[in-house]
Structure 1
Amino acid sequence: MSVTAVAVLALDGAPGHHLTTPGLVFGAASRHEGVAYEVRLCAAPGFRATGGPGPPLAVRAPYGLEGLADADVVLVTAYEDRRAGLPEGVAAALRAAADRGGRIAAVGTGTFVLAAAGLLDGRRATTGWRYVEELAELYPRIDVDATGTVVEDGPFRTAAGVFGGMDICLHLLARDHGRRVAGETSRELITPLHGDADSVQEAIDREVAESAGLEPTLRWMRARLHLPLTLPEIAAHANTSVSSVTRRFRAHTGLSPLQYLLRARLHEAMRLLRETDAPVEHVAAATGFSSPAALRHHFRALTGTTPRDYRRAHHPSA
């Protein structure tokens, strides 16, 4: 039975759960007959301790960059110093792994590491929603997917960072051993297995909304994307004040109500561009943008591309 080696590249300040999640997922999966994974914790040069959330933890990794040399999968953790350049040797080690045919994955701001190594030029990728604009600005040659939770492009997988990379680990597991093994592993870890990025995002939105008592208001908003909704109208539907509804949205989604509305409009615009032949002008009107120019402005700000280019890349007829 062959063993799949997964090298987890720990960069200084990586969240602790980014280091432990791969071991949980692949360790649970290895209880299935015919499934065997070896998870290696590899410290990048300069690694000192984990970062937030949670208190910093000093970690002694058994491997350095040499652990990447023959790994089947390299999984890059989040990176606090994403604008400061890469630690010495990291870019070369990642490029070498890609050149020999290894699969490369990144969680959250770990995507900036792959971008800085020049591995994502001309490819689709995602990162945590707080950083999609920054990624698109710093690396304009990347097709940034603002709504994806796991994005696959060739040998590269990038994830938004939800659940510490559990989604991307389950995605890799499903590719290796099928959805049955991935689904059973997912249930063992008490997390749902999702078929694609859209269903992942919908489930996450539903979970945070229900915990905040916002689900009826979110359904109401999604049914009225074509209308010019205002913050007072959203607060009135939620039967609370403007300040209270804003506080609840921020606490449970990280977004203000109007930011959430913008994201929902862009998400629906992407669906229409992928699944219909409606002109961009009609897509803009159907999703509540005042003009095609307004849609293009927000679309490029969040994705780094235009609606027409997005359709060319993702429409079945393209």
Structure 2
Amino acid sequence: MLTSVATPLIDGVAPFEFGVICEVFGIDRTDEGVPAIDFRVCAETADPVRTGVGAWMTAEQRFDALVTADLVAVPASRIRDEYPPAIVDALRAAHANGAILLSVCSGAFLLGAAGLLDGRACTTHWRHAEELARRFPKARIDPDVLFVDDGEIVTSAGTAAGIDACLHVVRRELGSAVTAAIARRMVVAPQRDGGQRQFVETPTPPQADSLQPTLTWMLDRLDTDHSVATLAAHARMSERTFARRFAAETGTTPHRWLTSQRVLHARRLLEETDFSVEVVAHRSGFGTAALLRHHFTAAVGVPPKDYRRSFAH
């Protein structure tokens, strides 16, 4: 159970990536069903810490508060040859104490400096991937993904990918309903779909507003067959215009988009209900268990029953 999250401030910290961590874990949303989280912002001393954009921040707690946290979320910061020994030691101690460690963007270099990436699958911003590989040759770096979940170590690519990684950890530890509540307040998708496997997501182009009513209508009717003709009629467009606009705004076809959303809905049902695979297939719009298994395994990397075994709450 994720009940405490700590994030460290060091010289050169990136405000956006730090803000992502605060937005996901640091805001009290208990009135929306999100469990209370003991959120700790930590620094080596009480002195202000300089950010990478000319501003300064101070932290209420010291690095010793990292050691007892369930999750330590490391924001991006200036990459350097040597990191402060105090933060390196604190991250090692937190890991030894059983904490999950999450890095956003260049925060992976700090995990590497602490020796926590050796032998692990990980990622960082694509511009820094070669340097990360050079500095930490024992790490298994994938520069093409949005984030990598390697158990107690989760690393993300640059900037907004940190949102996806943070929400993934929430989903993994607290479930889809909590993730949806946080994402709704942040006005972001609770999970961006893509062609990757069970623990790795890749980004797709954002959805524009012009088709949003039709996309919402499709989501409310996942168990209904949809043709381009019916979707175009709902959007009040010709079929040709609709197909062109849909591809431009979502980066894919209506059929592929609908399939990915059905897989996502099936994942939620497998996690949160005890419905049989046949019922899940029907409610998610696949119709048969065989068709669900085909699409689910292709998208997620494991069959529905194996996924439920790992993620059911």
Q: Number of aligned pairs? A: 211
Range 114-123 or range 186-195, more displaced: 186-195
What displacement does 1:3 show?
Answer: 7.1
**Contact 1:19–1:41, Cα closer than 8 Å, also in 2:** no
What displacement does 1:9 show?
Answer: 1.0
- TM-score with structure 1 setting the length: 0.59
Counterparts in 2 of 1:33 and 1:187: CA distance versus 1, 3 Å:
closer
Other-structure match for 1:168: 165
1:77 to 67, 75, 78: 75
Asked if 1:118 corresponds to 2:115, the answer is yes
Other-structure match for 2:149: 152
Other-structure match for 1:33: 33
SS at match of 1:90: helix
Counterparts in 2 of 1:198 and 1:50: CA distance versus 1, 3 Å:
farther
- TM-score with structure 2 setting the length: 0.60
Whole-Å Cα distance in 1 between the matches of residues 114 and 134 of structure 2? 16
Counterparts in 2 of 1:3 and 1:176: CA distance versus 1, 3 Å:
closer
Other-structure match for 1:66: 64
SS at match of 2:204: helix
CA deviations over 1:188-236 (Å, ceiling 9, x no partner): 21111216675753325888xxxxx9x86xx79xxxxxxxxxxxxxxxx
Instruction: Please tell me the residue identity of whatever aligns with 1:105.
Output: L
What displacement does 1:103 show?
Answer: 0.6
Other-structure match for 1:50: 51
Whole-Å Cα distance in 1 between the matches of residues 42 and 56 of structure 2? 14
Whole-Å Cα distance in 2 between the matches of residues 36 and 155 of structure 1? 21
Other-structure match for 1:91: 88
Other-structure match for 2:188: 191
Can you give the 5+ residue segments of structure 2 that lack an aligned partner in the other structure? Answer: 209-244, 253-297, 302-313
**Contact 2:193–2:204, Cα closer than 8 Å, also in 1:** no
What displacement does 1:29 show?
Answer: 4.5
Asked if 1:107 corresponds to 2:104, the answer is yes
**Contact 1:86–1:116, Cα closer than 8 Å, also in 2:** yes
SS at match of 2:102: strand
Whole-Å Cα distance in 2 between the matches of residues 134 and 36 of structure 1? 38
Asked if 1:129 corresponds to 2:126, the answer is yes
Other-structure match for 2:4: 5
What displacement does 1:134 show?
Answer: 0.9
CA deviations over 1:24-43 (Å, ceiling 9, x no partner): 22225443336111211112
Whole-Å Cα distance in 2 between the matches of residues 124 and 3 of structure 1? 23
What displacement does 1:20 show?
Answer: 2.4
RMSD across aligned C-alpha pairs, in angstroms? 3.1
Counterparts in 2 of 1:34 and 1:139: CA distance versus 1, 3 Å:
closer
What displacement does 1:116 show?
Answer: 1.0
Instruction: Please tell me the residue identity of whatever aligns with 1:13.
Output: G
CA deviations over 1:106-132 (Å, ceiling 9, x no partner): 111000011111111000000011101
**Contact 2:106–2:124, Cα closer than 8 Å, also in 1:** yes
What displacement does 1:12 show?
Answer: 1.1
**Contact 1:6–1:75, Cα closer than 8 Å, also in 2:** yes
CA deviations over 1:231-274 (Å, ceiling 9, x no partner): xxxxxxxxxxxxxxxxxxxxxxxxxxxxxxxxxxxxxxxxx9x9
Whole-Å Cα distance in 2 between the matches of residues 47 and 94 of structure 1? 21
**Contact 1:8–1:41, Cα closer than 8 Å, also in 2:** yes
Instruction: Please tell me the residue identity of whatever aligns with 1:50.
Output: T
Whole-Å Cα distance in 1 between the matches of residues 44 and 161 of structure 2? 19
